[in-house]
Amino acid sequence: MATENHNLSNYDKSTIPNAKHLRFGIVVSEWNDTITEGLYNGAHDTLIDCGAQPENITRWNVPGSFELIYGSKKMQEQDVDVVIAIGCVIQGETKHFDFVCEGVTQGIKDLNLKGDKPVIFCVLTDNTMQQSIERSGGKHGNKGVEAAITAIKMATLGS
């Protein structure tokens, strides 16, 4: 597993551009909200730690992970420099997991190819709830922190 020996919350602040003048949009799935709230908190706190101003962070909620695509597309149309899409899909007994994961992945990829503002993929696609807990503030850190650092780097790409 990619995160087995890597804590997602570790970053060297001295290597991260200052986020003071950047505007962030964060779209959060309400499905599996105990996980997505942990991811959001990790992302939000990291952005603030890296200089982002609270008034420059806009949050929108959407019902589920599949809706992250449309929510992120609409967020790209707002006065933001970068969008973070936060969701969590956990394997169940049906193929629904595969369809949602594939759709969200391809949808966010398409937004990055077609839009002029990056959309950061912060969607956990785990086999169990425990795996999601471990990646949203548990023993592997917080994927939201990693997404925030990625957002800052992508918003300043080429600057």
Within 13 Å of residue 28, how many CA atoms lie on the same side as its CB? 22
List the beta bridge partners of residue 124.
88
Rounded alpha-carbon distances, angstroms, from residue 14 to 17, 22, 33, 76, 88: 8, 17, 32, 28, 30
145 DSSP 8-state letter: H
Rg (CA), the chain: 15
Single-letter amino acid code for the residue at 29: S
Within 13 Å of residue 40, how many CA atoms lie on the same side as its CB? 21
* Tokens describing residue 111: 């937004």
96 is catalytic: yes
Given 6, 21, 44, 96, the catalytic residue: 96
Active site residue ranges: 96
